[in-house]
């Protein structure tokens, strides 16, 4: 059917001909064409930022402002030398650390976690997490909640979406103008992505949002600062120009071409919307700006990279981000918590590798949990600390005298906040801490728990790249003790 021309208009095509700005095409703010038509034609007198705010508001979640901060202990921390000590066992099993009492009667944890011991009535420890099938590089089984998401044995593992990506798609952000999913990572192999859901649900890289201290691969502060380029506009482009309806097409097409070079065209609509929202608005910009945080608060968290990222995570969830993942690793390979032995660089063993990490982690975890509580966010924000798997119950692996190897049979994790029931220990291991003795918790159980927290229906499905429907919950159910 021939296209109707505007009266008095020449018959040849022009730059905006393909947008049919005077023709109605359903919901005008629904996609790239509709969004651009609305911005270019000025329908109903609305500016582009106004349209974006209305669209984002329409996508606001219906189950309240729920968020998750995942403290990902890359490399797999030892369960015995953290949350599930075995003080009555021989040295080669119990390890070099002592234990301390906690706020929970009869519950003891590692001596290097005194602050956690003091608030354990606000925390849940799960000592019976079944990590079989989990590996690292990529660290995807627990971040997706699916044992099949292990690229070393399954070539289709990359299709399984991260829990954070499912939340971004089916729940979205808690406020307009901010991303739903943010990740701070040292290596892309340390974090799970959106897979078959599409790159538009991948995490925004938080390292680009704020200037942060740079550490070398073994944890030394280099004295340098990097990051913050996310909100630096290209030369010749300012906020006024970005918001102008007359120049919007050229600006977004420039973004489109850049994405096309990286093979991300399927995500263009969502990338464009998020990019304009974040740059024209100030929600995300302010959340990433640590200079707006009171000095006392910055001092409370401290200057360490991981602590700064934790403070940013609190600011981000407060601004409306739904899911923040922090990769607690200096090294870009298997991870700083991969403590195979003091004679096996670069991570060391238990005494010299793990011991320096624990006081820092203790401070980070408890500061974040208490800060969220004091700011009235404990009911909304769930904090989770975990890694890929546990460590062997006997030290001395790989010829070391003070190291533990990978141990997927069991691991421990800690949770706080989120309006869940805390002040408890779920599950138990045997006398050596190497096998589950009661109440196994699986990756699917973790995923189902998080989806219930967010109000995402547990029967939610997605279609993989071969057109097959898949469940987002793989053989699991919510951890009943938490609800």
Length of the chain: 483
Mean pLDDT score, 79-93: 97
Q: Write out the DSSP string of 234-270.
A: PTT--HHHHH-TTTHHHHHHHHHHHHHHTT-GGGHHH
User: The domain containing residue 110 runs over which residues?
Assistant: 66-226+288-482
Does residue 142 lie in a domain region? yes
Tokens found for residue 389: 């798997």
Asked if the structure places residue 198 within a domain, the reply is yes
State yes or no: pLDDT of 333 exceeds 50. Answer: yes
Q: How sure is the predictor about 347, in pLDDT bands with cuts at 50, 70 and 90?
A: very high
Tokens 């079989």 belong to 132
pLDDT digits (tens, 9 = 90+) for 353-412: 999 999 999 999 999 999 999 999 999 999 999 999 999 999 998 889 999 999 999 999
- pLDDT confidence bin for 345, thresholds 50/70/90: confident
Which has the higher per-residue pLDDT, 43 or 233?
A: 233
Contact indicator for 34, 28 with CB cutoff of 8 Å: yes
pLDDT in tens, 49-69: 444 444 444 444 445 799 999
With cut-offs at 50, 70 and 90, classify the pLDDT of residue 456.
Answer: very high
Other Cβ atoms less than 10 A from the Cβ of 101: the count is 12
Mean pLDDT of the chain: 85
Structure tokens at 82: 């953290």
3-class SS of residue 74: coil
Q: Is residue 429 over pLDDT 70?
A: yes
pLDDT band at 178 (very low <50, low <70, confident <90, very high): very high
User: Residue 101: is its pLDDT beyond 50?
Assistant: yes
* pLDDT given at position 58: 42
| Residue 340 domain flag | yes
Structural domain includes residue 478? yes
Mean pLDDT of 165-181: 96
By C-alpha distance, which of 324, 307, 241 is closest to 280? 241
The beta strand positions in 130-282, using DSSP E, are: 181-184, 204-205, 212-215, 221-226
For residue 35 the two structure tokens come to 């969004």
| Cα–Cα distance, 159 to 278 (Å, whole number) | 28
Whether the pLDDT of residue 102 is over 70: the answer is yes
Query: What average pLDDT does range 10-36 have in this prediction?
Result: 43
Q: Does 17 fall in a domain?
A: no
pLDDT at 40: 39
253 has pLDDT over 60: no
Q: Work out how many domains the chain is built from and give that number.
A: 1
Which pLDDT does position 23 carry in this prediction? 44
453 falls within a domain = yes
User: Would you state the torsion angle of the CA atoms of residues 187, 309, 56, 200, taken in this order, to the nearest 10 degrees?
Assistant: 0
Q: Does residue 72 sit in helix, strand or coil? A: strand
The reply to whether 413 falls in a domain is: yes
Least confident of 55-69, 79-93, 233-247, 381-395: 233-247
Residue 133 lies in a domain: yes
Q: Which two tokens stand for residue 406?
A: 């990978």
What CATH number did the domain enclosing 468 receive? Answer: 3.40.720.10
Nearest CA among 322, 228, 251 for reference residue 35: 251
- Model pTM score: 0.82
In this prediction, residue 232 carries a pLDDT of 75
Beta bridge partners of 212: 226
Rounded Cα gap, residues 348 and 362, in angstroms: 19
Q: Are 329 and 175 in contact (CB under 8 A)?
A: no
Confidence check: pLDDT of 457 > 90: yes
User: Residue 142: which of 418, 407, 444, 420 has the closest Cα?
Assistant: 444
Give residue 217's pLDDT band: very low, low, confident or very high (50, 70, 90).
very high
Are the CB atoms for 183 and 69 separated by under 8 Å?
no
Chain position carrying tokens 């390292």 = 207
> Which residue from 356, 480, 473, 477 is spatially nearest to 426, judged by alpha carbons?
480
Rg (CA), the chain: 24
In percent, how much of the chain has pLDDT > 90?
Answer: 72
Q: Which is more confidently placed, 389 or 14?
A: 389
Q: Is residue 248 very low, low, confident or very high in pLDDT (cuts 50, 70, 90)? A: low
Q: What is the pLDDT of residue 230?
A: 84
Q: Does residue 36 carry a pLDDT above 60?
A: no
Q: For Cα atoms 236, 239, 241, give the angle at the middle one, nearest 5 degrees.
A: 60
Residue 346 and residue 73 in contact, taking contact as beta carbons nearer than 8 Å: no
């Amino acid at each position: 059917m021939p296209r109707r021309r505007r009266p008095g208009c020449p018959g040849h095509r022009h730059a905006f001909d393909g947008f049919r700005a005077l023709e109605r095409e359903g919901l005008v703010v629904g996609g790239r064409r509709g969004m651009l038509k609305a911005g270019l034609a000025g329908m109903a007198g609305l500016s582009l930022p106004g349209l974006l705010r209305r669209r984002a508001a329409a996508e606001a979640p219906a189950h309240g402002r729920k968020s998750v901060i995942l403290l990902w202990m890359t490399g797999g921390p030892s369960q015995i030398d953290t949350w599930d000590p075995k003080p009555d066992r021989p040295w080669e099993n119990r390890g070099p650390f002592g234990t301390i009492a906690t706020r929970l009667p009869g519950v003891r944890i590692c001596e290097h976690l005194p602050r956690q011991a003091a608030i354990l009535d606000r925390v849940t420890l799960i000592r019976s997490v079944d990590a079989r099938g989990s590996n690292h590089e990529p660290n995807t089984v627990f971040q997706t909640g699916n044992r099949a998401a292990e690229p070393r044995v399954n070539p289709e593992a990359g299709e399984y979406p991260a829990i954070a990506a499912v939340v971004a798609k089916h729940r979205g952000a808690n406020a307009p103008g901010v991303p739903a999913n943010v990740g701070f990572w040292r290596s892309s192999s340390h974090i799970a992505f959106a897979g078959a859901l599409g790159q538009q649900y991948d995490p925004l890289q938080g390292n680009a949002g704020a200037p942060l201290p740079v550490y070398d691969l073994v944890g030394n502060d280099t004295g340098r600062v990097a990051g913050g380029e996310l909100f630096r506009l290209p030369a010749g482009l300012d906020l006024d120009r970005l918001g102008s309806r007359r120049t919007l097409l050229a600006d977004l097409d420039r973004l489109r071409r850049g994405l096309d070079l990286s093979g991300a065209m399927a995500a263009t609509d969502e990338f464009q919307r998020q990019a304009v929202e974040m740059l024209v608005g100030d929600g995300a910009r302010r959340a990433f700006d640590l200079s707006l945080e009171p000095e006392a608060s910055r001092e409370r968290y401290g200057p360490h990279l991981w602590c700064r990222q934790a403070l940013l995570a609190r600011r981000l969830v407060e601004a409306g981000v739904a899911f923040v993942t922090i990769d607690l690793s200096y090294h870009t390979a298997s991870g700083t918590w991969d403590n195979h032995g003091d004679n096996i660089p670069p991570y060391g063993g238990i005494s010299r590798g793990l011991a320096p990490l624990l006081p820092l982690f203790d401070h980070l975890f408890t500061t974040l949990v208490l800060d969220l509580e004091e700011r009235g966010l404990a009911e909304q924000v769930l904090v989770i600390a975990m890694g890929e798997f546990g460590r062997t119950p006997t030290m001395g692996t790989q010829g070391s005298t003070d190291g533990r190897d990978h141990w997927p049979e069991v691991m421990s994790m800690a949770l706080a906040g989120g309006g869940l029931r805390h002040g408890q220990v779920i599950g138990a291991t045997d006398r050596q801490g190497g096998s589950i003795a009661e109440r196994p918790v699986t990756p699917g159980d973790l995923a189902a728990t998080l989806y219930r927290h967010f109000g995402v229906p547990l029967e939610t499905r997605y279609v993989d790249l071969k057109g097959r429907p898949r469940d987002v919950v793989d053989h699991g159910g919510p951890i009943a003790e938490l609800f």
